Amino acid sequence: MTSPIVIAGGGPVGMCLALRLFQSGRDCVVLEAKAQGAYYQDHRALALSQASKLMLENLDVWSRIPAVTPINSIHVSQKGSFGRSVLRASDYDMAALGYVLSYGHLMQAIDQVLSEYADKSQAAKITIHYDTEVQQIIPNNRNTELHIQQGGQAQTLTTALAVLADGGRSLKDIPGIERINKEYGHHALVCKVAAELAHDGIAYERFTPMGPVALLPNGEREFSLVWTGETAGIEPLLELSDDVFLAQLHQHFGDRVGRFTQVQKRICFPLKLSYLSPVTAPHLVVIGNAAQTMHPVAGQGFNVGLRDAWELAELIMQTDEVNLGAASFLQTYQASRQQDTQRGLKFTDFLVRFFSNDIAGLGGIRSLGLGLFDALTPAKAHLIRKMSFGSKG
């Protein structure tokens, strides 16, 4: 079986790439390991930038998402000091600094668009194979072979351009591609919590010696919590009763939103910095979390991945089918994304290393730095642009 473009991974990044290609009149095949609708009950929170919102609007997805909470301001502070900085959307003539929604709701909205496209006679088409596992990817100088398992049957797909967007599940040892890992020795606990006080669209980023803790407004009175720290300190939090957990969260975070009153299911996962060098091989491009995984401290991971998909789609639209996956095509893509992804990786890594420790003397420097940053309007405007639109902002 042959196809000009095959996307391995039917999550938001892979599907948004497929939708953009469809809009441009390009056929593609999407391979997804899970069943259709399997992601709908995934309540993980995604923090979307302004650029991501514009992309989803362009794809006719945004208006279909059933629940979105805007971030009107971001309050950044350091535990144990008076230094803090506040970023407000109104100061930059923006409707919001970002938006919080669930992974499952985003996938439902994407599938609604796909179903409408399927009902219409179109020049291009998206063919999706669910319950299909990619077992091996073999790039060569003519094409890329994907060995898949579908319905208990082994098959081979041949394509001019394979795009790996499945978070790296099917990325094995591919010659010329190296994965660089940096283990933090930290875990993140994520869940949804409710508090006494209304969030008023405020997101909180609080740095502690244990690690950053973030509260993202998500719903009318709820927050999505990301509590990070050394593994030995985070994993035991899963075993606490709800009342004890909420009391410890209040003690750790402080009193800015009052007492925490409810907590939903808690999950925990390890944190690391990881990226591929390069993100391409002959007739193969890797995007999203498969290409780079960063600490969630600044909420940039999904947004960087969506920009990967968008810029790759733009390049495909400018390229004749005969040149898809060729050396010049791959070099152009790599150059277009390198600055954005490297800045995202370095920025999040810097925040973790600088703020997540108790080194003598650094506390005062950090407090002073946050205070000075709050007074530097041009520096805050620059940060907002980069967080909203990436390196090209």
Confidence at 300, pLDDT banded by 50, 70, 90: confident
Average pLDDT of the chain is 87
CA–CA distance, 191 with 253 (Å, rounded to integer): 15
What does the DSSP 8-state code read for residue 297? G
Provide the pLDDT for residue 382.
64
Residue 52's region, left for phi above 0, alpha for psi from -120 to 50, else beta, is alpha
Instruction: Give yes or no: residues 295 and 254 share one domain.
Output: no
Rounded to the nearest 10°, the torsion over CA 339, 342, 348, 349 is -150
Q: Residue 237 has what DSSP assignment? A: G
Please check whether residues 311 and 209 belong to one and the same domain: no
Structural domain includes residue 134: yes
Q: What is the mean pLDDT of residues 336-341?
A: 90
pLDDT of residue 391: 62
**Of 77-91, 205-219, 268-282, 335-349, minimum mean pLDDT range:** 77-91
CA distance 305 to 311: 10
* Lowest pLDDT segment from 4-18, 197-211, 316-330: 197-211
Higher local confidence (pLDDT), 314 or 92: 314
pLDDT over threshold 80, residue 7: yes
Question: 121 pLDDT exceeds 70?
Answer: no
Q: What are the tokens at 131?
A: 């319950």
Residues 33 and 173 in one domain: yes
- Residue 150 CB-density burial (10 A; 0-12 exposed, 13-18 middle, 19+ buried): middle
What's the pLDDT at 236? 96
Q: What is the pLDDT of residue 366?
A: 47
The position carrying tokens 């923006």 is: 94
State how many domains the chain has: 2
Query: Residues 274-298: what's their mean pLDDT?
Result: 90
Residue range of the domain that includes 316: 2-42+101-180+271-355
- What is the reported pTM? 0.90
- Which H helix or E strand runs over 118? helix 103-118
Q: What are phi and psi of 194, to 5 degrees?
A: -115, 150
Calculate the alpha carbon distances from 308 to 50, 102, 165, 206, 304 in Å. 15, 21, 10, 29, 6
State whether 278 and 255 are in the same domain. Answer: no
Percent of the chain topping pLDDT 70: 87
Q: Note the pLDDT of residue 331.
A: 96
Give mean pLDDT, residues 359-375.
48
Residue 383 in domain:
no
Task: Say if residue 190 is in the same domain as residue 260.
Answer: yes
If asked whether residues 326 and 243 sit together in one domain, one would say: no
Which residue is associated with the tokens 């009342």?
243
Spatial separation of the C-alpha atoms in residues 227 and 144, rounded to whole Å: 41
d(CA 89, CA 97): 5
Domain boundary among 218, 238, 268: 268
| Boundary (domain end) residue, out of 227, 248, 268 | 268
Q: Give the integer Cα–Cα distance in Å for 262 and 259.
A: 10
pLDDT-derived band at 361, boundaries 50, 70, 90: very low
Q: Which residues make Cβ contacts (< 8 Å) with residue 384, sequence separation at least 6?
A: 87, 92, 94, 97
Burial 360-390 (b: 16+ CB within 10 A, else e): eeebeebbebbeebbeeeeebeebbebbbbb
Query: Looking at per-residue confidence, does 84 or 246 come out higher?
Result: 246
- Which range (94-98, 283-287, 385-389) has the least confidence? 385-389
Token pair for 145 = 């072979």
Q: Write the single-letter amino acid at 211.
A: G
Is-contact 296 272, C-beta < 8 A? no
For the chain, report the end-to-end CA distance as a whole number of angstroms.
41
State phi, psi for 50 to the nearest 5 degrees.
-60, -40
In the prediction, which pLDDT does 360 show? 41
User: pLDDT category, 343, cuts 50, 70, 90?
Assistant: confident
Instruction: Let me know whether 7 and 150 are in one domain.
Output: yes
Three-class SS state of 315: helix
- Beta strand 222-230 with 178-195 is antiparallel
| Residue 289 CA, distance from chain mean position | 7
pLDDT of residue 388: 72
| pLDDT for the residue numbered 98 | 94
Q: What tens digit of pLDDT does each residue of 307-335 get?
A: 999 999 999 999 998 999 999 999 999 99
Query: What does the pLDDT read at residue 82?
Result: 64
C-alpha of 161 from chain center: 23
Confidence of residue 362 (pLDDT cuts 50, 70, 90): very low
Q: How confident is the model at residue 174 (pLDDT cuts 50, 70, 90)?
A: confident
Domain CATH number, residue 242: 3.30.9.10
The arithmetic mean of pLDDT across residues 371-393, rounded, is: 64
- Distance (Å, whole) CA 276 – CA 171: 11
Do 287 and 148 share a domain, yes or no? yes
By three-state DSSP, how is residue 215 classified? strand
Whether the pLDDT of residue 363 is over 60: the answer is: no
Contact 49, 387 (CB under 8 A): yes
What confidence tier does 185 reach under pLDDT thresholds 50, 70, 90? confident
How far apart, in whole angstroms, are the C-alpha atoms of residue 197 and residue 258?
A: 6
Q: Do residues 173 and 212 share a domain?
A: no
Task: Write out pLDDT tens, residues 128-158.
Answer: 999 999 999 999 999 999 999 998 899 999 9
pLDDT above 90: residue 287: yes
Write out pLDDT tens, residues 50-83. 999 999 999 999 999 999 999 999 998 877 666 6
> Within a 13 Å sphere around the CA of 289, how many CA atoms are in the beta-carbon half?
19
Choose one of 216, 240, 268: the last residue of a domain.
268
Q: Are strands 153-164 and 284-286 parallel, antiparallel or unpaired?
A: parallel
